[in-house]
């Protein structure tokens, strides 16, 4: 009898863990750009959680009924073990798919950036810095932003440059008014490119408004208080990358120069709170954000 209750107790403990792990998995991934599916898929996911809770209730009732046998105890315990294994496989498979998917996108972005030598590695740099900023956000702000969504938005922020003529992208001198008007359309062209991907709907405004300014003098004149927080983060990362990377028309700048420039435009071009937070990130962490193929003035 002691072994029977030991098995049932073990089954209860495992089922409580399963419910917590699966509920946490649903909270993390159900609304990001890779996991969001149809309403039917969402209903099935939450139906599975309800069944786990139902099984947990069953374990408790059987344990305290006083009628359990060793066979029943063994069935319940190994049933809980089976649920644990399946939940582990589901979470691992989802994680693997996400990593493989973003690797594919990185490759596509790299191909796109090959059109402009000045941009090669820029998107990955912006992605890395954006996620570094996200990790340093206060917990209340961090919870408002889906990590996977920001990861994709930062990586794809310049995908609209696919629609900009190479003669404009690769022009060695200053752009004239007509060329600047074309260049200013690249955030919206990016939205047009990604519009067919319904799961990307959440991140489209973040991409569209990453060149807006806090003083309202950005590409589309959006007032600072209407700029999405995620766009403000990408804007800080984008500015840092633009300053630090060597371009055909300018040398790479040092970390100290970049910090000084960003502080100077804080509150007008860039969000002051994000810049202040950015400036507190250890320099060593930002050094790791530069892709290996990017020549950046990290070292003073």
What Cα–Cα distance (Å) separates residue 6 from each residue in 2, 9, 277? 6, 5, 51
Could you give the CA distance from residue 207 to residue 255 in angstroms, rounded to a whole number? 26
User: Catalytic site residue 283?
Assistant: no
Q: What is the CA radius of gyration of the chain?
A: 25
Sign of the CA dihedral 272, 274, 277, 283? negative
Q: Where are the beta strands (DSSP E) in 185-274?
A: none
**Residue linked to tokens 């995908």:** 159
Please identify which of the residues 106, 110, 142, 161 carries the catalytic annotation: 161
Where is 88: in which H helix or E strand? Answer: helix 70-113
| φ/ψ of residue 250, rounded to 5 | -160, 150
Count Cα neighbours of 131 within 13 Å in the Cβ-side half-sphere.
17
| Active centre residues (catalytic) | 161
């Amino acid at each position: 009898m002691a072994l029977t209750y030991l098995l049932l107790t073990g089954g209860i403990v495992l089922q409580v863990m399963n419910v917590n792990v699966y509920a946490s998995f649903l909270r993390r991934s159900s609304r990001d750009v890779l996991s969001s599916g149809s309403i039917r898929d969402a209903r099935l996911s939450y139906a599975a959680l309800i069944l786990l809770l139902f099984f947990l209730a069953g374990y408790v009732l059987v344990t305290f009924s006083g009628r359990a046998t060793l066979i029943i105890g063994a069935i319940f315990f190994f049933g809980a073990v089976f649920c644990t294994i399946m939940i582990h496989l589901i979470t691992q498979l989802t994680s693997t798919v996400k990593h493989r998917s973003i690797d594919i996108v990185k490759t596509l972005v790299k191909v796109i950036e090959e059109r402009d030598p000045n941009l090669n590695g820029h998107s990955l740099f912006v992605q890395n810095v954006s996620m570094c900023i996200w990790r340093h956000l206060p917990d209340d702000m961090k919870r408002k932003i889906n990590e996977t969504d920001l990861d994709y938005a930062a990586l794809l922020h310049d995908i609209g440059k696919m629609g900009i003529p190479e003669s404009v992208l690769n022009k060695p001198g200053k752009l004239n008014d007509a060329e600047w008007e074309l260049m200013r359309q690249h955030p919206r062209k990016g939205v047009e490119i990604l519009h067919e991907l319904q799961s990307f709907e959440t991140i489209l405004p973040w991409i569209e408004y990453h060149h807006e300014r806090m003083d309202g003098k950005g590409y589309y004149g959006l007032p600072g208080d209407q700029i999405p927080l995620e766009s403000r983060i990408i804007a800080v990362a984008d500015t840092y990358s633009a300053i630090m990377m060597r371009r055909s028309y300018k040398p790479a700048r040092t970390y100290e120069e970049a910090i000084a420039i960003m502080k100077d435009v804080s509150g007008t071009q860039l969000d002051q709170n994000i810049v202040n937070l950015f400036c507190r990130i250890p320099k060593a962490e930002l050094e790791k954000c530069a892709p290996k193929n990017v020549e950046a003035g990290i070292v003073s």
